[in-house]
Amino acid sequence: MCCRSQRNGAKLWISRIPFAHISSPLSVFSLRTACGRIYLALFLLRCYSAFFGYGYIHPDEWMQSGEPYFGFTLPSIDARVPWEWWPNNALRSISALQIQYLGVGWVKVLIKELRAPTGYDLFLVQRLSSMLWTVYTDILVTFVFPPKTARYMLCLFGISTAATTFLVRPFSNSIEAHQLVLCFLQVVIFYRNRTWYRQGGLTGSHWGVLTGLIAADGFFSRFTFAIFALPLGAFFGLNHIRIAAEGYIRPALRSMAVAIASLLFFAYQHVHSETRFYTQGGENDGVQVATLWGTRWIIPPINALLYNLKTENVAQHGLHPRWLHAVVNLPMMIGVANIIVLFIHGLHFVRGVLSDSAKVSPISKTDVASSSKGDEDRAARDTTTKEEEDERRAVEESIKTATAKCKPATEASTEPEVSSSKAATMSASDPATAEAREEVVEYVDIEPVAVSLSFAIIIFSLLVLSISPHQEARFLLPLAFPSTVIFAYALQHPYFTLRPKFTGILLSLHVIQHVLQLVLFSFLHQAGLLPALFSIDRSISRLPTDGYPLFDRYEHHLLYRTFTVPFHLIPSKGRGMYPRVEDYDSSNSPAYVMRMASIACNHTTLYAPAWVVRDLNSQAIWQGRVELWSTSKFGWHVDMDHLPETWEAVKEVGWKEAFTIQKLEIRCKSYPDAEGVTREDDQVIKKQMKEDPQQQQPHEEEERLHIDL
């Protein structure tokens, strides 16, 4: 009996799991394998990009995540709440932000207990949280896909711009991409599991609960999640129809009802949280809240959808040709090599589906293995590799050893087995067949479903998102995972395995492109701004905590012609008037900026890209009040919007200095300025102010008014 149990257990193992699955899923990460060592190298590269990559890709990287989060949760920080979070707009979800920053909250509390957080602390904790999301999805991949496919996916995805650059940053697109991955894996596992609906009771109800939870969280993160996930939702429903068609109507209806109820429940929790948050904010600010169609409910993703449907609204953020996503953004996000693979493998995949459709019905063709050997591609795909053949022999040898003492080999070889297709249709009321089902569980090949869903997500979402005239590459970030699924399976297709040179060229192109994009976006693009902010934060933290604030704690930091400044990365500033940190964009001329900088000369520092410093110097000379002294530089700082101006600066100051943000001290000239105040007069005024703060000079009051404005 013992040996029979071992033999049946071995059968169950083989029939349930492909030969590539005989080891632990986490063995993919073993450093004894080439894949494990490659993954470790890619993981270290991801960590380096996360913690030392100061590239600033887009203002929404911080303004839709860290700026509102710390502005709402750390009252001592002088964060600037973006317009999307104003109660009269209500375009962003506070509940989704809390889920995204779930890990940040715990670390934030720990840091506050130890010491006052610095800007670099808040930077690190956000990058760490984002990186841990990527590790979580990597682990899930190994439990869902066969090890060979999982190895390909971890390596292909690990080197991609999505994993090394975008997903380690707190974009709202990043959390949307992670939630699409979770939803994708959830649907695939649900399809692969063929036992829950045969066991009766409430078994399998967790599938509906998890699906509803992920769907609600994803939709409130970004409304475009519904576009990406619609093919998954449709397949989830069709899978229930398949289960009902097999005769399990009650489990199918119960599971679907649980999924719908969970979706409504979690959506209601989100709506309730948003309504309470924005209603309170509207009452405090005295503004009308953006409710849904005159009701009292506030649903930010629907508000965002309605906002983006109006061309005049998206025109404020830039209009693009509608082919930009397909021609530029998609190749940049997933890679040119991946585009080529999608096209080639798509043709072969469609051809295989069409050839199989005449032999197997659409519902059952992915449930059982086809016995036809006529199609060359299918036959070649089923051919095992040397590695898989070795694993097969090892398993067969272990089975033979376990059964040798109990049954002759000839008898064991003739023992009837219950086929997987027959086990799938056995009556649940027959005890004998129930025992057989416990012994033999059919192996379900997930490749056709995973590839089909990936193609459906890419094609459908690309068509829908291309309707909008505002198109940015990060909008396609969720497509990085399904495209990697196709890439990984395509590398196992005979078209690519029989063409190693062509495959090697594609892989080299994939690596080179994503490494170059990693360097550009993670280490060069606007990369001088964050170090400048950390420098400002350290400078302010060294100011005394007591004394007259206007003179003892006064520093004036101006930033000009950079991306939007995330003020939560300067927590030492606090909410007081002094010290001051201000940023000026392209709507302010160099003349105006120099006028503002000269108001509090000798206490003001200006930070600006090297290409605009020449104009600032010209204005300083023309106004005749101050001098600019370059004391430090923050590089490499590449401004893609002003490359022509930067090339001109290269001719004057050289490469190293042209691609920097310069720290310029504003020093007063010793001779009288336009208002007749010398540096010596300024020292006298300061002394008088310390003795009697009520005696303010007229020009000093005027300058303070200028600062307030």
How much is the mean pLDDT over the chain?
81
Q: Which of 420, 461, 370 is nearest to 184 (CA)?
A: 461
**At residue 197, what is the residue type?**
Y
Reported confidence tier of residue 429, pLDDT bands at 50, 70, 90 = very low
Q: pTM of the entire structure?
A: 0.81
Determine the Cα–Cα distance for residues 444 and 42; give it in Å rounded to an integer.
31
**At residue 35, what is the residue type?**
C
- pLDDT of 461 above 90: yes
Question: Per-residue pLDDT tens for 168-196?
Answer: 999 999 999 999 999 999 999 999 988 88
19-33, 65-79, 585-599: the lowest-pLDDT one? 19-33
Reported confidence tier of residue 450, pLDDT bands at 50, 70, 90 = very high
Which tokens sit at 300?
């930010």
**At residue 243, what is the residue type?**
I
Evaluate whether 706 touches 596 at the Cβ level (below 8 Å): yes
Where would I find the H helices in 466-528?
480-490, 494-497, 500-518
Evaluate whether 623 touches 594 at the Cβ level (below 8 Å): yes
Evaluate whether 273 touches 94 at the Cβ level (below 8 Å): yes
pLDDT of residue 397: 56
Q: Which of 202, 211, 210, 217 is nearest to 233 (CA)?
A: 211
**Residue owning tokens 């063709």:** 365
- For residues 561-571, average pLDDT: 93
Select the more confidently predicted residue: 12 or 100: 100
Q: Residues with Cβ < 8 Å from 421, sequence gap 6 or more?
A: 367, 368, 442
Determine the Cα–Cα distance for residues 665 and 289; give it in Å rounded to an integer.
44
Where would I find the H helices in 563-693?
590-599, 610-623, 643-653, 655-658, 679-691
Exposure string (b/e) for 68-91, b if CB count within 10 Å is 16 or more?
bbbbbbbeebbbeebebbbbebbb
Which tokens sit at 216?
């609600």
Q: Which of 354, 332, 355, 352 is nearest to 344 (CA)?
A: 352
Question: Per-residue pLDDT tens for 370-409?
Answer: 334 344 444 444 444 455 555 455 445 544 554 454 444 4
Determine the Cα–Cα distance for residues 383 and 199; give it in Å rounded to an integer.
35
Question: Per-residue pLDDT tens for 520-548?
Answer: 999 999 999 999 999 999 998 888 766 66
pLDDT of residue 594: 93
Select the more confidently predicted residue: 574 or 260: 260
**At residue 97, what is the residue type?**
L
Tally Cβ neighbours within 10 Å of residue 274.
23
pLDDT of residue 363: 42
Which tokens sit at 144?
């869902």
Which tokens sit at 293?
């169609």
- pLDDT of 279 above 80: yes
- pLDDT of 7 above 80: no
Determine the Cα–Cα distance for residues 709 and 706; give it in Å rounded to an integer.
5
Determine the Cα–Cα distance for residues 331 and 180; give it in Å rounded to an integer.
20
Strands annotated E in 345-415: none
Reported confidence tier of residue 9, pLDDT bands at 50, 70, 90 = very low
Find the length of the chain. 709
pLDDT of residue 331: 96
3-class secondary structure, 607: strand
Question: Per-residue pLDDT tens for 238-247?
Answer: 999 999 999 9
**Residue owning tokens 């007229």:** 698
Question: Per-residue pLDDT tens for 467-517?
Answer: 999 999 999 999 999 999 999 999 999 999 999 999 999 999 999 999 999
Select the more confidently predicted residue: 255 or 357: 255
Q: Residues with Cβ < 8 Å from 366, sequence gap 6 or more?
A: 444, 445, 448, 449
Kindly list the distances between the CA atom of residue 64 and the CA atoms of 61, 83, 428, 626, in Å, as whole numbers in the listed order.
6, 10, 53, 37
Question: Per-residue pLDDT tens for 641-675?
Answer: 899 999 999 988 888 899 999 999 999 986 544 44
Question: Per-residue pLDDT tens for 602-651?
Answer: 889 999 999 999 999 999 999 889 999 999 999 889 999 899 999 999 98
pLDDT of residue 685: 37
Q: Is 336 exposed, middle or buried (0-12, 13-18, 19+ CB in 10 A)?
A: middle
pLDDT of residue 137: 95
Determine the Cα–Cα distance for residues 215 and 233; give it in Å rounded to an integer.
9
Question: Per-residue pLDDT tens for 316-337?
Answer: 988 999 999 999 999 999 999 9
pLDDT of residue 548: 61
Residue 473 DSSP code:
G
CA max distance for the chain: 111
Reported confidence tier of residue 364, pLDDT bands at 50, 70, 90 = very low
pLDDT of residue 288: 87
**Residue owning tokens 């289960």:** 243
Determine the Cα–Cα distance for residues 650 and 629; give it in Å rounded to an integer.
19
Question: Per-residue pLDDT tens for 56-96?
Answer: 999 999 999 999 999 898 877 888 889 999 999 999 999 99
Tally Cβ neighbours within 10 Å of residue 138.
22
Q: Residues with Cβ < 8 Å from 307, sequence gap 6 or more?
A: 89, 91, 313
**Residue owning tokens 């009520």:** 694
pLDDT of residue 104: 83
10-24, 63-77, 107-121: the lowest-pLDDT one? 10-24
Determine the Cα–Cα distance for residues 674 and 3; give it in Å rounded to an integer.
101
- pLDDT of 681 above 80: no
- Decide the pairing of beta strands 626-635 and 580-584: unpaired
